[in-house]
Amino acid sequence: MVSTKILFNNKWIAFLFLAISFSLIYNPFTKFPYTFCVIILAILLFTFLQDGNFKGLKFNKIKFSDIKVILVCYLILELSMDFIFQPLVSKIFNEPADYSSFKMIEGNSAKYFKWLFNMWISAAIGEELLFRSFAFLQFRKIFGEKKIWLVLLSAVMFSLPHLYQGISGLVMTFLFGLAFGFIYLKFNNIWINVIIHGLVDTVFLTLSYYGMTDFYSGF
């Protein structure tokens, strides 16, 4: 009798599981943040069917030494994106990223804290689990250990759901995806990615609350 691990561990099943998980972003039955709760459950199920455990998702413990790594990576990422890449991208495409959908939280404390909580569940945990942990795991099954492809393809996947932010927003999300991909490759711990991603989005939501998203425009 063929074991479950052998049955589900081939490149076509990996592609199918990844495609299903990604397509759940667009399912009509759930909304933010519940959509990513469903995606997280699907990822856990698919990973267990493939491997019989969750080790491939790299839920490694955070050590004290990782705190320095997190802070340094966050500061480099935040400063370079905010003061170099975001203004440059806005100038190249002659338009800022469209963050108008976040206007609703401006000056609204209740919505700010609700979005902040939802962001940590959906974007920080959900997106990192889908676009880094799970995507890398499946791409390795499909392409092998071709690191540049892992980073590039996961960054493309990460950027596509952000089309609503316009071309500049799409490009910026792709650049963030590249950065998060290299961080994941380097440190092999999804929790490091989750915390860095969460910190970046916390700053963004805080600026949105204070009506300061023009800061990102570079205009």
What's the token pair of residue 103? 């206007």
Q: Is residue 49 part of a domain?
A: no
Torsion, Cα of 107, 118, 128, 97 (10° steps) = -30
Supply the pLDDT for residue 218.
52
User: What string of pLDDT tens digits covers the 219 residues of the chain?
Assistant: 455 666 677 899 999 999 999 999 999 999 988 999 999 999 999 999 999 999 999 999 999 999 999 999 999 999 999 889 998 998 898 887 788 888 899 999 999 999 999 999 999 999 999 999 999 999 999 999 889 999 999 999 999 998 888 899 899 999 999 999 999 999 999 999 999 999 999 999 999 999 887 766 654
Q: Is position 13 within any domain?
A: no
Tell whether 14 is covered by a domain: no
Asked, for residue 183, whether it belongs to a domain, the answer is: yes
Number of domains in the chain: 1
In a domain, 65, yes or no: yes
In a domain, 108, yes or no: yes
Q: What is the dihedral of CA 71, 77, 78, 83, to 10 degrees?
A: 140
CA dihedral 35, 119, 207, 185 (to 10 degrees): -110
The pLDDT, as a whole number, for residue 212 is 87
User: For residue 31, is it within any domain?
Assistant: no
In a domain, 3, yes or no: no
Domain membership of residue 197 as a residue range: 61-216
